[in-house]
Chain A
């Protein structure tokens, strides 16, 4: 377990910024953890362990130092992975963090929720509601109509273009969805 170096930090922050925009400040600096017996609430920080990036409260990090690196399986919330090629991608566990701070959202109609959870992209016909002012390639968090976060992805079309599309066009390319908890249980 070690803190991210500069290059890794920029990679991670760039990815997060794509989804949460200005709220990144909120995630990194202002979010306060109330874990542990400490009277003063601590902050959260990012840690790298076995190519995985974790979002951990400081108090937890202190305690985790007691454990050997090879014995430490996981700590805090995993938010993403570095591939062997050095690229960073967000995993489904980061969904809660993203959903709370998301800038761009898409709400799915109940009928198309299932299709999304099976790993398909979001089609225009399935969109119940969409945030205004989404640009192409922005990070979008997908919700059900009851405001339950379902996953996230990339915008394939801007909001304005979405109006003119036919109902079978793709609005959001899927990155991750909560169906992965079942489908890819072993990999996570």
Chain B
């Protein structure tokens, strides 16, 4: 209080006052003003009233009083100094000193002493003089200012206007002082922080000061304060949860060390609470939002075991689907770190976080950013989560039995002497107590507890995932009216991924519902007839493909002794291939679907397999090279597995008996079983053999010659996914192209049994690389037009060198051949 008063009361020294008449204006000045009239305008606009008000706030009071005031102030300062010195000399041990922000030491007694006269003074001032030196409320202040203005008007005749220069100087000074103050505060923060880190127990009080500083009006300082506090807290928070002593405990007598410890803990806790509350409050401000969230996230990741975790979690999870990318990413990483190192908090935080996310999803009706659900992917459960429960149940029943046995035994023991029994009981009791203590003390988690947590987490996760699925599967009434895009279900993709990941943990009872949901999502266009367009268009093709994939994954993971055939999903996939557009949809998803649906399944109906072969072969004609490669790998795989389908490779359309009931291929059939694909011929392969991409043409030829070499089938290990990725990435890295080349070589060697010219293959891949590189180069040079000519020349040069090289190669080969022939001739002879 004292400081404030001083600041307000002491007006800066004004320059010597000069009457208007005395001021001499030079001709040059007048000229300058006349020339720059536009800029001089502000002078006339200056609010002299406010300026005078600011500068002569004190001067408005009657002069006599003012003078006396100044005198008093001076006296008091002197007095204070004297007293301080006196007290320090006389009684230094009496109380702990308090260090203020400007680094002065105040001793308690001194402070009290000085306060009294100050207060007396203030009272005297406020009662004795009307002029307001004491600020109370704004309203009062305003009223006083009005009064002052009136008085000032009266006095204006006598008073002399202040020159504007003084005003400017004053402002500059203020700025300077503000800067200095902020610098000072920064240093102060640093000092306090380092002292805290050096010895937290004795310097714990500094934390409050830091908190005070971070309440500053200056945003830069606040941010700095928050950050330094974060660093301090991260370091000094203990590895356990602080429990404040109860009333009873506080009353009990304790040793000094314990007292000290308690004091330390309680201050730390209260400071931490204030800090967290402040952070939560600051989230709302746009200026501090990022800093606050960053602090919250780091705290949550660093000290999830500590008190006030709930508020931290609440704040972080609420921000998890924020519009701001930075904030969202921060929150996500924080939550993920929670999920991954559960050792820090023993799993409780995981349960809370997952439940919180579940609530969030529920509240927002599944309209959140996908990241909000993607964090679930970081969760991990024990593999034997389900099995343990069973064994536990067994244990329970066993224990019940054993209890019964005990009960049976006891009456037999009764006749034995009582002492033994009591002794035994005592022993067992003691043992139990020891065990309990051991459990409490040891950090090792109780497996039962852990499992309980995990089941809770899992149920919350499943709840969320199923909610999203149900929401997506709901027949939206707006679907017909509003052109709906995939943005309608932002959470669907991560949700599907999550289901795929946790599918082995989902209970069998949910399975039927889950499959129904997925089936509806995959889009039953055939059943709904006219309204099929709406239902199928509200999910994109890749999303529906993903639904199929997930269905197969779920089935595969829960495959226990029963091999279930997902006919509906086969039909969906069969139709989805038609809707696939290379540019629009994700090729990786298609490749994955081919792998999981067609390659991984062990058996297929002949009809169905044939239908898929035919359809895939047809669509390789219009897919890109990568997709067609994946499709061809799948086709090959299917043909290898289903010997009957190799009829498709024959030149003669089977029809009749071979095709079963349907004697003619119907390309538009929606059900693969009814398409009669066995009656068709794979003429597409002939075209594909002339594909521009060497890898595709190679595999096409290998497929078409499969029939001739049925005996030496070796299974290729390339999955369609792999093939797709290889081809889509190959243009950059040479390594991958080499891989493909090897694969090609292998296949060729395996399938055809025909000697392959390695040299020619090498050349082919090299040529591809060069053309691609050239394309990229040309793209660059289009941007830099100046160097275009240069580029042309270079490319010509390259081409010529290539020709020369090729020619040389050719020559060499020819030589070799002739040599070989010569040799052969000689050997023949």
Contact = CB atoms under 8 A, between A and B. Distances in A.
A155 to B, nearest CB: 13
B674 A133 contact: no
A7 interface: no
A179 interface: no
A159 B568 CA distance: 14
B660 to A, nearest CB: 6
B565 interface: yes
Interface stretch (A11-19, A61-69, A83-91, A160-168): A160-168
B555 interface: yes
A103 B568 CA distance: 9
Given A34-B663, A100-B660, A147-B606, A128 B515 contact: no
Interface in A7-64: 22-23, 26, 31, 34
Interface string A154-181: 0000111011100100000000000000
A127 B661 contact: no
Given A127-B562, A132-B567, A159-B564, A97 B511 contact: no
B605 interface: yes
Given A23-B674, A31-B661, A131-B565, A163 B508 contact: yes
B65 interface: no
B661 A164 contact: no
B660 A130 contact: no
Contacts of A34: 663
A103 B567 CA distance: 8
B512 interface: yes
A179 B566 CA distance: 29
B661 A132 contact: no
A2 interface: no
Nearest to B676: A100
Contacts of A23: 671, 674
Contacts of A163: 508, 511, 558, 560-562
B644 to A, nearest CB: 8
Interface string B638-650: 0000000000000
A89 B661 CA distance: 22
Contact of B563 (A22, A26, A100, A129): A129
A115 B793 CA distance: 80
Contacts of A160: 508, 511-512
A129 B564 contact: yes
A101 B511 contact: no
Interface string B558-580: 10111111111000000000000
Given A101-B674, A145-B603, A131 B567 contact: yes
B197 interface: no
A152 to B, nearest CB: 16
Contacts of B560: 163
Nearest to A96: B661
Contacts of A105: 565, 567
A131 B661 contact: no
Interface in A101-119: 101, 103, 105, 107
A99 B586 CA distance: 36
Contact of A147 (B563, B564, B605): B605
Contacts of B661: 31, 96-97, 100-101
Given A23-B674, A130-B564, A145-B603, A100 B515 contact: no
A58 B511 CA distance: 46
B interface, size bucket: 20 to 34
B663 A133 contact: no
A97 to B, nearest CB: 7
Contacts of B563: 107, 127-130
Contacts of B663: 34
Contacts of B605: 147
A133 B566 CA distance: 8
Contacts of B564: 129-132, 159
Nearest to A145: B603
Contacts of B516: 133
Nearest to A101: B674
B606 to A, nearest CB: 5
B662 interface: yes
A128 B603 CA distance: 10
Contact of B674 (A26, A129, A158): A26
Nearest to A127: B562
Contacts of B512: 158, 160
A97 B661 CA distance: 8
A132 B568 contact: yes
A132 B515 contact: yes
A84 B516 CA distance: 41
A105 B511 CA distance: 20
Contacts of A26: 674
A114 B567 CA distance: 26
B33 to A, nearest CB: 93
Nearest to A106: B565
Interface in B544-566: 555, 558, 560-566
A8 to B, nearest CB: 24
A26 B675 CA distance: 12
Interface string B583-609: 000000000000000000001011000
Nearest to B669: A26
Interface in A121-147: 124, 127-133, 145, 147
B567 A162 contact: no
A122 to B, nearest CB: 13
A130 B511 contact: no
Contacts of B673: 100-101
Contacts of B508: 160, 163-164
B778 to A, nearest CB: 53
A22 B663 CA distance: 20
A182 to B, nearest CB: 23
A15 to B, nearest CB: 19
B562 A133 contact: no
A167 to B, nearest CB: 8
27 contacts: A23-B674, A26-B674, A34-B663, A96-B661, A100-B661, A103-B567, A105-B567, A107-B603, A127-B563, A128-B563, A129-B563, A129-B564, A129-B565, A129-B603, A131-B564, A131-B567, A132-B515, A132-B564, A133-B515, A133-B568, A145-B603, A158-B512, A160-B511, A163-B508, A163-B511, A163-B560, A164-B508
Given A23-B671, A130-B563, A167-B561, 19 more contacts: A22-B526, A23-B674, A26-B674, A96-B661, A97-B661, A100-B660, A100-B661, A105-B567, A124-B562, A129-B565, A129-B603, A130-B564, A131-B566, A132-B564, A132-B566, A133-B515, A133-B519, A160-B511, A163-B561
Q: Which 3 A-B pairs have the closest CB atoms?
A: A100-B661, A129-B563, A160-B512
Interface of B: 508, 511-512, 515-516, 519, 526-527, 555, 558, 560-568, 603, 605-606, 660-663, 671, 673-674
